[in-house]
Copies of this chain bind each other. A is one copy, B any other.
Amino acid sequence: MNEKEQLEAARDRVIENIAKNMHLYGISDSIGRMYGMLYFKNQPMTLDEMKEELGMSKTSMSTSVRTLMDLKMVEKVWRKGERKDLYKAEEDWHQTFVDQFTIRWRPSISMNKAAMEKSKKELQNMIINENTPEEIKKQALDDIQKLTNALDYYDWLNRLVTFFETGEIFEYIKKENQTKE
C-alpha cells in the first residue's frame, strides 16, 4: 500500500463511520457518505464530481444534496465563471447539531402540542357536560392528567430547543474542554 492509498484508507474509514452513524440525524448511509466526502474535500464539489466519486446516479446526487441543504449540513457556493452548482459541507458540527434540533424537533413539538391541546379541551368539555356518564368522566379526568403531563414536557422541550438555538448551551458546555489542559 503506497502513501496515497494510506491517506485514502484513513479518510475512508472515517467517512464510512460517519455514514453509519448518520441515522441518528435521520438520514441514510448514502447521504451520510456524501456528507463525509464533502467534509474532507477542500474544494466545493459539483453534482457530477460527486456522482463520479460515489459511483451513483446524478439524480441521487441531486436529491441527496437537497436533503443535506434542508438540514443545513451543506450549502451552495458560488464561484465566478462556474456554470455548475457547487456545494460544500458545513464544517462546524456544533452548529449542525443545534440546527438539527431546531429544524427537526420544533415542528414535531408544535404538531403534538396542538393535537394534545385540542383533545384536552374536548375532554374538559365532556367533564362539564352533565349528560356525560360518570364512568366516562372518570376516564376523561385520567386522560386530562396524562395530557397535562405531556404538555408540560413539550413546554420543557421547547425551552430546551431554545437553549440550543440561542447558543446558551455553550455557556454551560464549553466548546473547548477546559478540563483537558
- Residues from chain B with a CB closer than 8 A to the CB of A140 are 7
Give 1 or 0 for each of A130-161: 1 = CB within 8 Å of chain B CB: 01110010011011001101101101110110
A79 contacts the other chain (Cβ, under 8 Å)? Answer: no
The B-contacting residues of A in range 90-122, CB under 8 angstroms, are 91, 93-94, 97, 104-105, 108, 111-112, 115-116, 118-119, 122
Q: How many copies, total?
A: 2
B115, B142, B177: the one contacting A17 at CB < 8 Å is B115
Could you tell me the distance between the alpha carbons of A172 and B142 in the complex, rounded to whole angstroms? 30
The reply to whether A155 and B143 contact each other, CB–CB distance below 8 Å, is: no
A176 contacts the other chain (Cβ, under 8 Å)? Answer: yes
A175 contacts the other chain (Cβ, under 8 Å)? Answer: yes
Give 1 or 0 for each of A163-181: 1 = CB within 8 Å of chain B CB: 1000001001111110000
Give 1 or 0 for each of A65-91: 1 = CB within 8 Å of chain B CB: 000000000000000000000000001
Contacts A94-B153, A152-B176, A173-B156; A10 near B119 (Cβ below 8 A): yes
Could you tell me the distance between the alpha carbons of A156 and B143 in the complex, rounded to whole angstroms? 40
The reply to whether B159 and A173 contact each other, CB–CB distance below 8 Å, is: yes
A128 contacts the other chain (Cβ, under 8 Å)? Answer: no
Contacts A123-B10, A126-B6, A126-B7; A21 near B112 (Cβ below 8 A): yes
The reply to whether A7 and B136 contact each other, CB–CB distance below 8 Å, is: yes
The smallest C-beta distance from A17 to any residue of chain B, in angstroms, reads 4
